[in-house]
Amino acid sequence: MKKDNLLAVVMCGAVVCASAGAAWSETLLVANQKDADLSLIDTASAKVVGTIPVGGVTGHELAISPDGKTAYVPIYGDAGVGRPGTNGSEMSVIDIASRKITGKVDFGHGVRPHCAIYDKNSGMLFVTTELDKSVSIIDPKTLKIVGSVPTGQEQSHMLVLSKDGKRGYTANVGPGTVSVLDMVGRKTLAVIPISGNTQRINISRDGSMVFTADQKKPQLAVIDTATNKVKSWVELPAVGYGTATTPDGRWLLVALRGAKQVAVVDLKTLKNAKTIDVAGGPSEILVSPDGRKAYVACNFSNQVSVIDLGSWTVAQTIDAGKYADGMAMTK
C-alpha cells in the first residue's frame, strides 16, 4: 500500500491504518465540543498550529478523506446523548489546507448526527443519525444522502466498520445494546444486549471481536463477530469509555474516564495488563499510523495526553480546546 494512502480515517472508536518504517510527522485534528472548533496539532512539535471553526454547535467527532484534504464534522447540537437540547441537522465539510468550510450536508431535519466514517471500500461516508435510529449514507462527491441503514435502536451514537466495510456495529447508549448492520444490504442483522447503558465501540484488527464499554459496571463487553453474542467480559479498574487497538493487534487501550487513566488490555488473555495515568476525563484514543504513540483526548482537562507505546508512559501533554473529544490524523 502506498504511503500517501495510509491516512487515518476515524471510525469513531479511533481505529487507524498502520504503517511500518520511518517515523511520521502528521497533523492531529481534535474536535473541541465547547469551542465548536477543531485544533490542528503538529505531532512533531506537539503544538497547536491553528484552529478551524466547525460552523455549528457542536462537533463531537470527525472523519478525514483518504487523500487527507477534507474533514467531515457532524454538527450534533448542544445536548448530551439522550438529553434535551438542540438537534443538529447538518454536517460541515472543511478544506483542511485553507481552514475553511467549503460545503454542508443537510439532513433535512434534526437527527443529531454524530459519528462519521469514510469507508474506502464503498467510497461512501457513513454518519450515525441518532434521532432517525439509523446510519445515513452520504456520497462525498455530491454531498447528497443516498441511503440509510436502520439500527432498530435509540441513541445509535458510535459506529465501527469491519475492514471490508460489509458489517457495521453501533453502540446504542441508552438502550445499552449493540446493533449489527449489513452495510451492503442496508439492514439490521442483530441487536445484542450489553448492559443498562453502553458507550463507544471498536473492532479488533482481525475483525473477530467487537468491544464496547459497560457504563454501569467497570467491565468491557467482548462480542464474537462470528456468533453476534457476548463471548467474554474484561474486568477494568474503573468504568471504560473509548478504545483503540495497537497495529499489531495485541493490545486494546481503554480510556477510564473517571479515573484519569488508560487501561491496557492484553487481547490474547482478555485481561487488563497495566494502567497509565493521563489527564482528566480521557474519552477517545487514536493510535498513530506507525504504532509508536497513542493520543488520548481528555474532555475535562481540555488536553491530549500522548502515550509512548514503547515505554507505556505519557511522553507529552498538549493543550487543545474546551472539551477535547473526537480525533483524526492526516499527513
Q: What does the alpha-carbon distance between residue 24 and residue 6 come to, in Å, rounded to a whole number?
A: 11
Distance (Å, whole) CA 331 – CA 323: 24
Sequence letter at residue 296: V
For residue 53, which phi and psi values (nearest 5 degrees)? -60, 140
Reported confidence tier of residue 41, pLDDT bands at 50, 70, 90: very high
Answer for the pair 199, 157: CB distance below 8 angstroms, yes or no.
Answer: yes
Query: Residue 122's pLDDT is what?
Result: 97
State the pLDDT at residue 331.
84
> Which residues span the domain enclosing 156?
3-330
pTM over 0.85: yes
Domain count, the chain: 1
Higher-pLDDT residue of 209 and 7 is: 209
For the segment 130-157, what is each residue's pLDDT rounded down to a tens digit?
A: 999 999 999 999 999 999 999 999 999 9
| pLDDT value of residue 20 | 32
CB atoms within 10 A of CB 226: 10
Task: Please give the pLDDT value at position 3.
Answer: 39
CA–CA distance, 261 with 277 (Å, rounded to integer): 4
> How far is it, in rounded angstroms, from Cα 238 to Cα 35?
28
Q: What is the mean pLDDT of residues 304-330?
A: 97
We report the CATH number of the domain holding residue 276 as 2.130.10.10
Mean pLDDT to the nearest integer, 186-196: 98
What's the confidence (pLDDT) of residue 24? Answer: 43
Per cent of the chain over pLDDT 90 is 91
Write out pLDDT tens, residues 193-223. 999 999 999 999 999 999 999 999 999 999 9
Give the model's pLDDT for residue 1.
41
At 174, which helix (H) or strand (E)?
Answer: none
Cα 61 from Cα 169, distance rounded (Å): 17
How far from each other are the two terminal CA atoms of the chain, in whole angstroms?
15
10-36: pLDDT as tens digits:
445 443 333 333 344 699 999 999 999
